[in-house]
């Protein structure tokens, strides 16, 4: 509905625009120059090569030709060559229509080159004012392109050859220098195979370390046994050695023998003699002398001899003591020997570790020299491989192309295209109309919901859209409830002279329908109502009830009954000047007073002409100060609504509020008949 209202409002400029655009399109189609297009296709064949060269530690150098990827597509390279200035310029210089083109860039627009998706072909399209000229240009393009490819190949091959030769000499020199440095370092350090030498040293250190640990363990075991024997004998190892020496002392043995004999004599004599016997005393004194002499012998050989068993006889106990002394001496000697051996091995390990550190330092230098040599060798082999590849193929950078389809020309001109012109005119018409409407609406926009907030007048009721127009007093069910609400609101207001003027700013906003609905609703509430047709030009209210007066009648009309409690005061047709006099001089007011007194009406509803369309509607505000303004979203003009409010305010009208007409219903709700029976829910 809003779109229809906008179109009805601006139909004249829209009609002019939509007539002008097809005419311009027809002129373009009629006067545009004809153009023919020659098309051809070239293909990029397989460019796979078999280059496979070893670069040593740098790996392998393989060249399989040109690979088609999203980052690098050889077709785009070929397309750039075809459309380059060096290819197009010779064609332009020999073109018979050269003077039509002011520059090479403008001439290049005749040539369209595009790679075909999912293939290795390139499509060429060349335009010309004649079919023969288009074909001639496409043939010259292929020849010029082929010539340019050969030039690029030759230049690339020469530059690559010259560059590679220079680089080869430098790489060969670097390789020889690296080789000499490596050989001199091996000779100076004696490192033939640093890895094997390091491995042997590590193994030797491990073996010696293991041996050292085993010897130390044996030494600790011997020392432990020596300590145990020493504790058992009560002798230190040195004392044991010294005691062992007494067994080999002849004087010591002689004194011991004599002492043994004296002890035997004492034992025999004590059997028959007392201790006071001179013989016994003499033997005891002799024994004491022998013991003293024996102790001197022991002290001379074994210092701190207390606790040393000096009896070396032939009984079993003494033999065991000797064995333990011998074992103690042997265990102590072995322990000391093993410790000395472990110290020697430890010094050997430390020497090997020192040698390993030296080799590690030299090994890093050797590896660095070896790496430099390998790198120089790889660079040298790579350059040699590139030289061989340059000799094998001259089409590495710019592969050879072949003509897949020879140039052909469509007998029909390719431009201008009637379908594109028609489509363009349609799109131009659509978007141009939208732009025109937007421009016109920006100058004279329709009323929107946000505009109602700026007016700051209450909306007394919202009338939904009609599905069918009302006839006579029949008010459709969708609006009956809203008019009853409006009538209830009006009945609670204090109206001067019980009169209410219903008007709008522009036509087709529904003021007449609102007047009829409000009057019918007031009658339902029990009031006696007079409807007054105040539109002296169109008399819509009078025509609605078929009570319009003929134009030849000059007498003022009288009220006619429409239904019980509702009368209509028709309007007599008048000239514009006569209407202004009729209202301004008070004749309309006096006539209305007389009819209202005669009919004893509770309410007088005056349906006037739009305030923005006539001048007498605002003057009626002096007669009927109470005004109800009808507006319609998407139909009412925002500027006209504001202007109407200003005019009514200047004429001291009291605007009770707004009736918002033509509102879309959000919910159906409940609808009732006059007998209060529920129709639907």
pLDDT of 277-288, one tens digit each? 888 888 888 888
Buried b (16+ CB within 10 A) or exposed e, 463-499: bbeeeeebeeeebeebbbbbbbebbebbeeeebeeeb
Q: Which residues contact 53 (CB under 8 A, 6 or more apart)?
A: 60, 61, 62, 381, 382, 384, 385, 388
Are 541 and 634 in the same domain?
yes
Same domain, 320 and 269: yes
- Strands in 36-43's sheet, in edge-to-edge order, are 111-115, 121-128, 36-43, 402-409
Number of helices and strands (H, E) in the chain? 20, 16
Give the CA distances from residue 500 to residues 211, 495, 496, 627, in Å, rounded to whole numbers and listed in that order: 128, 7, 8, 6
| Residue 516 located in a structural domain | yes
SS (H, E, C) 530-586: EEEEECCCCCHHHHHCCCCCCCCCCCCCCCEEEECCEEEECCCCCCHHHHHHHHHCC
In a domain, 171, yes or no: no
Q: Both 435 and 479 in a single domain? A: no
Residue 143 counted as domain residue: no
The per-residue pLDDT for range 310-341, each reduced to its tens digit, is: 554 444 444 456 567 777 777 777 788 888 88
Domain annotation covers residue 284:
yes
| Strand ranges for 45-119 from DSSP E | 51-54, 60-63, 111-115
Quick one: 288 and 436 in the same domain? no
Does one domain contain both 482 and 586? yes
Q: Which residues fall within 8 angstroms of residue 673, CB to CB, at 6 or more apart? A: 679
Residue 485 belongs to some domain of the structure: yes
From 413, 444, 475, the end of a domain falls on 444
Determine the 3-state secondary structure of 97 from DSSP. Answer: coil
Strands 111-115 and 121-128 come out as: antiparallel
Are residues 438 and 535 located together in one domain of the fold? no
Burial of 117 per CB tally in 10 Å (0-12, 13-18, 19+): exposed
Nearest to 162 by CA among 386, 369, 377, 351: 386
**Domain coverage including residue 626:** 449-672
Of 475, 522, 492, 534, nearest to 672 by C-alpha is: 475
Q: Which of 444, 478, 506 is the last residue of a domain?
A: 444
Q: Could you tell me the two tokens for 355?
A: 């040698």
Q: What is d(CA 243, CA 107) in angstroms, rounded to the nearest whole number? A: 128
Rounded Cα distance, 527 and 320, in Å? 155
506 Rama sector, left if φ>0, alpha if ψ -120 to 50, beta otherwise:
beta
What CATH number should be reported for the domain holding residue 475?
Answer: 3.40.50.300
Shared domain for 624 and 498, answered yes or no, is: yes
Positions of the chain with pLDDT under 50: 71, 305, 307, 312-319, 468-469, 476, 667-681
Residues of the chain above pLDDT 70, percent: 75
Q: Does one domain contain both 427 and 357?
A: no
Residue 528's nearest CA partner among 558, 563, 556 is 563
Residue of 618, 612, 630, 599 whose CA lies nearest to 518: 630
Q: Which residues pair with 123 in a beta bridge?
A: 41, 114
Residue 602 vs residues 477, 557, 568: alpha-carbon distances, Å:
26, 20, 14
Residue 427 shares a structural domain with residue 504? no
Residue 167 within a domain: no
231: enclosing H helix or E strand: helix 194-233
549 found inside a domain: yes
Q: Is 66 helix (H, G, I), strand (E, B) or coil?
A: coil
Which segments of 557-677 does DSSP mark as H helices, in order?
576-584, 587-599, 616-623, 638-650
Residue 376 placed within a domain: no
Do 505 and 631 contact (CB within 8 A), yes or no?
A: yes
Pick from 538, 515, 531, 501: which is nearest to 620 by CA?
Answer: 501
Contact of 446 with 5, CB cutoff 8 Å: yes
Q: Is 65 exposed, middle or buried, given 0-12, 13-18 or 19+ CB atoms closer than 10 A?
A: middle
Answer yes or no: are the C-beta atoms of 456 and 649 closer than 8 Å.
no
CA distances from 239 to 233, 326, 359, 426 (A): 10, 12, 51, 132
Q: Which two tokens stand for residue 650?
A: 């200047």
Q: Are residues 478 and 357 in the same domain?
A: no
- Report helix, strand or coil for 659: strand
Q: What is the dihedral of CA 534, 538, 542, 545, to 10 degrees?
A: -140
Rounded Cα gap, residues 138 and 136, in angstroms: 6
The domain total for the chain is: 3
Residues 624 and 555 in one domain: yes
Q: Which of 295, 330, 365 is the last residue of a domain?
A: 365
Closest-CA residue to 514 (of 607, 611, 634, 452)? 607
Cβ contact 623:592 at 8 Å = yes
243 and 352 in a single domain? The answer is: yes
Euclidean distance between CA atoms 120 and 399, whole angstroms: 12
């Amino acid at each position: 509905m809003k779109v229809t209202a906008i179109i009805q409002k601006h139909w004249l400029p829209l009609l002019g625009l939509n007539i002008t655009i097809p005419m311009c399109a027809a002129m373009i189609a009629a006067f545009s120059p004809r153009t023919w297009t020659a098309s051809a296709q070239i293909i990029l064949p397989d460019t796979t090569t078999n280059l496979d060269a070893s670069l040593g530690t740098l790996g392998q150098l393989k060249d399989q030709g040109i690979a088609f990827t999203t980052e690098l597509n050889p077709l785009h390279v070929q397309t750039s060559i075809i459309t380059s200035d060096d290819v197009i310029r010779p064609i332009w210089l020999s073109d018979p229509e050269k003077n039509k083109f002011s520059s090479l860039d403008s001439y290049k627009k005749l040539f369209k080159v595009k790679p075909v998706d999912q293939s290795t072909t390139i499509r060429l399209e060349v335009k010309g004012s004649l079919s023969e000229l288009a074909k001639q240009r496409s043939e010259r393009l292929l020849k010029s392109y082929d010539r340019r490819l050969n030039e690029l190949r030759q230049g690339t091959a020469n530059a690559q050859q010259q560059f590679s030769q220079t680089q080869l000499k430098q790489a060969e020199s670097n390789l020889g220098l690296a080789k000499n440095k490596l050989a001199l370092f091996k000779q100076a350090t004696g490192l033939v195979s640093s890895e094997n030498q390091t491995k042997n040293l590590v193994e030797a250190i491990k073996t010696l370390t293991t041996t050292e640990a085993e010897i130390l363990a044996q030494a600790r075991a011997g020392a432990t046994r020596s300590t145990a024997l020493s504790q058992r004998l009560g002798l230190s190892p040195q004392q044991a050695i010294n005691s062992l020496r007494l067994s080999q002392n002849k004087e010591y043995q002689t004194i011991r023998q004599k002492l043994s004999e004296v002890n035997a004599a004492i034992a025999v004599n004590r059997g028959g003699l007392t201790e006071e016997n001179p013989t016994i005393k003499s033997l005891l004194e002799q024994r004491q002398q022998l013991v003293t002499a024996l102790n001197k012998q022991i002290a001379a050989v074994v210092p701190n001899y207390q606790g040393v068993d000096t009896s070396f006889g032939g009984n079993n106990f003494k033999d065991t003591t000797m064995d333990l002394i011998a074992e103690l001496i042997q265990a102590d000697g072995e322990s000391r020997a093993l410790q000395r051996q472990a110290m020697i091995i430890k010094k050997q390990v430390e020497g090997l570790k020192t040698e390993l550190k030296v080799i590690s330092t030299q090994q890093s230098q050797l590896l660095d020299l070896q790496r430099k040599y390998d790198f120089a060798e790889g660079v040298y082999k790579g350059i040699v491989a590139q030289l061989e590849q340059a000799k094998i193929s001259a089409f590495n950078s710019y592969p050879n192309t072949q003509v897949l389809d020879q140039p052909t020309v469509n007998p029909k001109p390719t431009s201008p295209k009637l379908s594109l012109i028609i489509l363009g005119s349609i799109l131009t018409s659509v978007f141009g109309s939208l732009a025109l409407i937007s421009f016109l609406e920006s100058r004279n926009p329709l009323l929107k919901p946000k505009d109602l907030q700026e007016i700051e007048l209450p909306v007394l009721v919202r009338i939904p859209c009609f599905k069918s127009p009302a006839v006579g007093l029949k008010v459709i069910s969708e609006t009956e409830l809203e008019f009853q609400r409006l009538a209830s609101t009006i009945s609670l207001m204090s109206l001067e002279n019980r009169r209410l003027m219903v008007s709008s700013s522009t036509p087709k906003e529904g003021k007449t329908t609102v007047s009829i609905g409000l009057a019918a609703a007031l009658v339902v509430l029990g009031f006696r109502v007079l409807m007054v047709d105040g539109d002296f030009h169109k008399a819509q209210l009078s025509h609605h009830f078929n009570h319009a007066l003929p134009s030849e009648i000059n007498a003022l009309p009288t009220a006619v009954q429409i239904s019980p409690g509702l009368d209509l005061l028709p309007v007599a047709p008048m000239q514009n000047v006569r209407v202004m006099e009729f209202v301004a001089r008070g004749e309309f007011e006096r006539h209305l007073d007389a009819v209202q007194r005669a009919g004893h009406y509770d309410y007088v509803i005056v349906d006037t002409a739009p305030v923005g369309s006539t001048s007498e509607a605002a003057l009626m505000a002096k007669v009927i100060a109470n005004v109800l303004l009808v507006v319609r979203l998407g139909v009412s003009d925002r500027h006209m609504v504001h202007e109407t409010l200003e005019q009514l305010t200047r004429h001291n009208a009291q605007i009770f509020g707004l009736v918002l007409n033509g509102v879309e219903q959000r919910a159906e709700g409940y609808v009732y008949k006059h007998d209060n029976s529920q129709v639907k829910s």
